[in-house]
Copies of this chain bind each other. A is one copy, B any other.
Amino acid sequence: MTYPSSPRTEPTRHRERVSYDRATVHAVLDEAVVCHVGFVVDGRPVVLPQLHARVEDTLYLHGSTGARAMVTARDGGLDVCVTVTVVDGLVLARSAFHHSVNYRSVVVHGTAAVVTDPAEKAAALDALVDRVVPGRMAGTRAPDRKELAATTVLGLPLAEVSVKVRSGPPIDDPGDLDGPHWAGVLPLSTVAGPAVPAPDLVPGIDPPAHVTTWHR
């Protein structure tokens, strides 16, 4: 399955790197820890890092009910561009010019609207916790009524969305191939170190499997 293309998601460069494949889009959205949300304030761009969660074909964002973006969103929605990038490796070519990065990046355009349905809002907040640390919601105290009221959830339909992927080795000019320089890829990944218990943790509570086996 693929998402439709649109004037905003049609590539102008490196067309071969762009796709609308639904499974590829979802994999990137689900893997990255943070997204970057762009919106316009007084005609100028603002980009902020945020947590996100995907449920089916909706991307959810959240924030304090009093935050500027959330207040704006209450009045007809917030035009956003949400970009999610996973860096897979550094691409080292013989020439400086052909250096690159292996990455997967999803760009979502659309209008984020406040989620008003209580069940959808609660499910989105659960998904925000469980996407970052799968299994975590079962190991926490769920939000109470006051906490739910303090949080605004925005839903952004995955309708105008594309994913750009660069993978594989460097591509050097033929004249550089027998040069003296090493070329190749340095793979990068995100790893977790040993869990650090909170200083005020009740003695005897061990980190659960969703913490000790976390991986990306």
Give A contacts to B, CB under 8 Å: 8, 12-13, 33-34, 36-40, 43-49, 51, 64, 66-68, 79-83, 85, 87, 89-90, 92-97, 99, 101, 103, 105, 107, 109, 125-126, 129, 132-133, 136-137, 139-144, 147, 150-151, 169-170, 172, 176-202, 205-208, 211, 214
Contacts and interface: CB of A to CB of B under 8 A. Distances in A.
> Which of A46, A51, A66 has most B Cβ within 10 Å?
A46
11 contacts: A33-B101, A34-B101, A40-B40, A46-B81, A89-B196, A96-B141, A97-B143, A97-B150, A170-B198, A177-B202, A182-B206
A46 B108 CA distance: 9
A49 B197 CA distance: 34
Contacts of A151: 97
Contacts of A109: 44
B140 A93 contact: yes
Contact of A184 (B87, B142, B186, B197): B197
B202 A178 contact: yes
Q: Lowest 7 CB-CB distances: which A-B pairs, in order?
A: A38-B47, A38-B45, A36-B36, A38-B38, A187-B193, A47-B83, A97-B147
Contacts of A181: 139-141, 205
B40 A85 contact: no
A183 B181 CA distance: 48
Nearest to A176: B141
Contacts of A79: 44-45
Given A184-B195, A192-B188, A107 B176 contact: no
B46 A38 contact: yes
A190 B86 CA distance: 11
> Which of A44, A172, A198 has most B Cβ within 10 Å?
A198
